[in-house]
Chains A and B, each alone.
Chain A
Amino acid sequence: MEKFTTLSSRAIPLAIENVDTDQIIPARFLKSINKNGFGKNVFRDWRYNKDHTKNSTFILNNPTYSGDILVAGNNFGCGSSREHAAWALTDYGFKVIVSSFFADIFKENALNNGLLPIQVTPEFLKALLSRIEENPETQLGVNLLEQTITVEGTSFKEDFNINSYKKRCLINGYDDIGFLLSKKNKIMAFERQKAY
């Protein structure tokens, strides 16, 4: 997993609520047996028209906006457990997703792939979305060490929470498997003693 500490980037505003994993990556693209290449189908049915031409009204196709940060409406990533959603977003190039609420499994999947989900207050989200919409060149600064998100060059800033274990993993690029394997003895002792 790639390490994450700080990021400075422009952002793409996706002011839609309840973006579910079926929108992020539709089921018909889940037939792969490896993790690569999902980015080309991220938000497939919003990005493309039925005749496979680009839907110019969708924000990802608007050249005015760019960046490694996606700022999305409330309850992002609800629905299925498919980690393909996180793979599609990272493969497309996103490193941070900002929303006022994330679905549990999506959040976990994102963190396990070095994609940082930042949960902000609804007020901050609303203001952030309008700032980006008004000025697409708005530059955001994310600092994982200090747990802050800032509109650079302004005092518009918010702190965010992250589980300290997950924070350590992201900063160091560690994943959970190595950690669990180091606990094998404890796990086997548990198996011998379990009371149920």
Chain B
Amino acid sequence: MKKTLFDKVWDSHIVDTIKDGPQIVYIDRHLIHEVTSPQAFNELESRNIPVFRPDQVTATADHNTPTQNQHLPIKDERSKKQLEQLAINCKKNNITLYELGHKYNGIVHVIAPELGITQPGMTIVCGDSHTSTHGAFGAIAFGIGTSQVAQVFASQCLLLTKPKSLRVTVNGNLKKGVLPKDVILYIISKLGTNSGTGYFCEYAGDVFENMSMEGRMTICNMSIEMGARGGMIAPDETTFEYIKNREFAPKGSNLDQKIAYWKTLPTDNGAQFDKEYFFDANDIEPMITYGTNPGMGIKITETIPQVNTPSFEKSLAYMNFEKGESLINKPINYVFIGSCTNSRIEDFRIAANFIKGKSKAPNVTAWLVPGSKQVETQIIKEGLEDIFTKAGFELRQPGCSACLAMNDDKIPEGEYCISTSNRNFEGRQGQGARTLLASPLLAAATAIEGKIIDLTEYLTHSLVQEIQ
């Protein structure tokens, strides 16, 4: 039978199938952080169950950490307690922890790929919905709740029902200024936020084949925003090249063997999907969201659609936007470049390249929050910090930061923020904050101009100037 990439990985991880019930799926890698793990550790302790395979668990502190003065004691008592508890739990159970300040610390979905922990053909889970990020390597990776975190601790397995399969194919060449973030925002705006529920999604076509690993991670990261449990991209030479020489990647002949296996994973020609969508790369332009779910996105040149449902109107009222309005020239006071969607070195290079020699608008507060300590180090090594500081941007220390505003990095009430993160829900970046999701390029441009600009026109214009 012809199999999809998802089928191949899934089928190879089945321990047992329960009659009239779910399957027992083996989990290769379990990533944990301070917010969704403490109750799972409690559960184990109360039942006197040990962590079954501590070597397959990796922990980091990211959701609730400060992004300034990380060397000083944490001021917020409850945050401090949560981090201390993580350290205690990891120590007790022999789990490797990259705590605050460690050279490998950072956002869970940034560090695991960066360290070579994430590999093709694996099953990877974490108590965080954006675990889908790791699917960029051809792994089955998805977010789980805390009860399931406890299950994986106890047995290295989960009870699951096989999801349906969905494939999104995008062929063609992307236009100048169109980034992976625009591609995924475009797809979600077309399909809506629950089109993927019950499905695992594979992304196929030249657009993804030609994309860097960083870009593929941005794509898979947001699969959950269309409801899909996860997203996947077939592993290829780009994937193998990225993995080679990373800290925990297989080495030497072991790597050769692995690569030979990984090459067998891509979807067979003629394999069937339950649902398929096709898009043309040429139709994608720089995107931005205007509402309170990630599906409410438009091309920067478009206007807010006329939809007459109470939920849509409630959302526009929260954002203080009108139907039929264009977002171009809207003044913006906050810019956030960060989160597990866009906080890798590539994202900061793109931003720096645009910012170089310019200054941010006086009304703008611009936060740059690297996804990991390694990204931060690289930013400094490549001299990007200098560009950012000269332009008036604030380079902070790694963490989730204003993506979920659990720490002090909150956008004030009523303010608009152009954010490279993945969710624009009400209050996501702070109570009453209004989030507009966009690419790091549009975010950087907004910080310079102090308002939203027509990036497409700007780029064509600067291209013409370059040629002249």
Interface positions of A (Cβ within 8 A of B): 15-18, 20, 22-23, 26-28, 30-35, 45, 50, 73-75, 78-84, 86, 101-105, 108-109, 112-113, 163-165, 175-177, 179-181, 183-184, 186-187, 190-191, 194-196
Q: Given the known inter-chain contacts A83-B36, A86-B145, please indicate yes or no for A78 contacting B47, CB distance below 8 A.
A: no
Q: Given the known inter-chain contacts A18-B193, A33-B38, A187-B26, please indicate yes or no for A177 contacting B261, CB distance below 8 A.
A: no
Q: Are the CB atoms of A20 and B425 closer together than 8 Å?
A: yes
Q: Given the known inter-chain contacts A50-B413, A186-B15, please indicate yes or no for A22 contacting B145, CB distance below 8 A.
A: no
Interface positions of B (Cβ within 8 A of A): 12-13, 15-16, 18, 20-22, 24, 26, 35-36, 38-39, 42-43, 47, 49, 63-64, 76, 78-79, 81-82, 85, 121, 127-129, 131, 143-148, 150-151, 154-159, 161, 163, 193-194, 197-198, 227, 229, 261, 293, 309-311, 314, 404-406, 413, 423, 425-428, 431-432
Q: Are the CB atoms of B155 and A177 closer together than 8 Å?
A: yes
Say what secondary structure dominates the interface of chain B. loop
Q: Which residue of B lies closest to A108 (CB)?
A: B145
Q: Are the CB atoms of A165 and B293 closer together than 8 Å?
A: no
Q: Which residue of B lies closest to A74 (CB)?
A: B194
Q: Given the known inter-chain contacts A104-B229, A112-B148, A177-B43, please indicate yes or no for A33 contacting B194, CB distance below 8 A.
A: no
Partner of A184, one of B21, B129, B155: B155
Q: Inside 8 A of B147's CB, which chain A residues have their CB? A: 83, 109, 112-113, 175-176
Q: Are the CB atoms of A180 and B12 closer together than 8 Å?
A: no
Q: Are the CB atoms of A186 and B150 closer together than 8 Å?
A: no
CB distance from B293 to the nearest CB of A (A): 5
Most buried by B among A31, A35, A81: A81
Q: Are the CB atoms of B145 and A105 closer together than 8 Å?
A: yes
Partner of A26, one of B79, B144, B154, B427: B427
Q: Which residue of B lies closest to A33 (CB)?
A: B38
CB distance from A57 to the nearest CB of B (A): 12
A-B contact pairs, 20 of them (CB 8 A): A18-B194, A27-B428, A31-B64, A31-B81, A34-B39, A34-B42, A45-B431, A73-B311, A78-B227, A79-B129, A79-B425, A81-B127, A112-B145, A163-B21, A165-B21, A176-B151, A180-B24, A187-B156, A191-B156, A195-B12
CB distance from A74 to the nearest CB of B (A): 8
Task: Kindly state the separation between the CA atoms of A33 and B39 in the bound complex, as whole angstroms.
Answer: 6
Q: Which residue of B lies closest to A189 (CB)?
A: B15
Partner of B405, one of A28, A113, A177: A28
The 9 closest A-B pairs by CB, nearest first: A165-B21, A109-B145, A112-B147, A81-B143, A33-B38, A31-B78, A83-B145, A180-B155, A83-B146
Q: Given the known inter-chain contacts A31-B79, A31-B406, A165-B18, please indicate yes or no for A103 contacting B425, CB distance below 8 A.
A: no
Q: Are the CB atoms of B38 and A34 closer together than 8 Å?
A: yes
Q: Are the CB atoms of B36 and A164 closer together than 8 Å?
A: no
CB distance from B134 to the nearest CB of A (A): 14
Q: Inside 8 A of A28's CB, which chain B residues have their CB? A: 405-406
Q: Given the known inter-chain contacts A105-B145, A187-B156, please indicate yes or no for A78 contacting B194, CB distance below 8 A.
A: yes
Q: Which residue of A lies closest to B431 (CB)?
A: A45
CB distance from A182 to the nearest CB of B (A): 10
Q: Given the known inter-chain contacts A83-B146, A104-B198, A105-B144, please indicate yes or no for A163 contacting B22, CB distance below 8 A.
A: yes
Q: Inside 8 A of B404's CB, which chain A residues have their CB? A: 22, 27, 80
Q: Inside 8 A of A105's CB, which chain B residues have their CB? A: 129, 143-145, 229
Task: Kindly state the separation between the CA atoms of A196 and B151 in the bound complex, as whole angstroms.
Answer: 23
Q: Are the CB atoms of A180 and B36 closer together than 8 Å?
A: no
Q: Are the CB atoms of A177 and B129 closer together than 8 Å?
A: no
Q: Which residue of A lies closest to B403 (CB)?
A: A27
